[in-house]
Structure 1
Amino acid sequence: MSATIPSEVTLLERRRIEAAMLADVYAVLVERMGRAAALAVIEDTVARAARAAGQAFAAQAPGGPNLAHFATVSAIWQRGGALEIVNEQRDPGRVSFDVARCRYAESYREMGLPEELAVRVSCLRDAAFAAGYSPCLTLDRPATIASGAEKCPFTFTWNDA
Structure 2
Amino acid sequence: MNVLEDYMVDPRLSLLDKTRIQAQVLVPVLRALRVELGKEKADAIVKQALRDWSKQLFADVGGRVEGSARRKWAAMHTALADVTEREVKVEMRRHDKEALEFDVTHCRFAEFFRALGEPELGALLVCATDFDIVAAGGSEVSLSRDQTLMQGAPSCTFRYAFAPRS
Q: Fold conserved (TM > 0.5)? A: yes
One-letter code aligned to 2:119: E
Q: How does 1:97-116 map to 2 (within 5 A)?
A: 97-110=102-115, 112-116=116-120
Q: Rate the CA distance shift 1:149–1:14 in 2: closer, same or farther, 3 A.
A: same
1:155 is matched with 159
Deviation at 1:43, TM superposition (A): 1.7
Work out the CA distance in 2 between the residues paired with 1:71 and 1:91. Answer: 15
Structure 1: segments with no counterpart, 5+ residues: none
One-letter code aligned to 1:134: G
Q: 1:86 aligns with which of 84, 87, 91?
A: 91
Deviation at 1:74, TM superposition (A): 5.0
Relative to the length of structure 1, the TM-score reads 0.79
Deviation at 1:3, TM superposition (A): 8.7
Structure 1 stretches (4+) deviating beyond 6 angstroms?
none
Q: Rate the CA distance shift 1:147–1:71 in 2: closer, same or farther, 3 A.
A: same
2:3 is matched with none
Q: How does 1:112-131 map to 2 (within 5 A)?
A: 112-131=116-135
2:37 is matched with 33
Contact 1:42-1:121 at 8 Å conserved across structures: no
Deviation at 1:97, TM superposition (A): 1.1
User: What secondary structure is seen at the aligned counterpart in 1 of 2:138?
Assistant: coil
One-letter code aligned to 2:46: I
User: What secondary structure is seen at the aligned counterpart in 1 of 2:82?
Assistant: helix
One-letter code aligned to 2:102: F
Contact 1:86-1:100 at 8 Å conserved across structures: yes
Q: Rate the CA distance shift 1:76–1:54 in 2: closer, same or farther, 3 A.
A: farther
Contact 1:85-1:97 at 8 Å conserved across structures: yes
User: What secondary structure is seen at the aligned counterpart in 1 of 2:105?
Assistant: strand
Q: How many residues align?
A: 156
One-letter code aligned to 2:125: V
State the superposition RMSD in angstroms. 2.7
- Larger CA deviation: 148-157 vs 58-67: 58-67
Work out the CA distance in 2 between the residues paired with 1:93 and 1:3. Answer: 29
Q: Rate the CA distance shift 1:88–1:15 in 2: closer, same or farther, 3 A.
A: farther
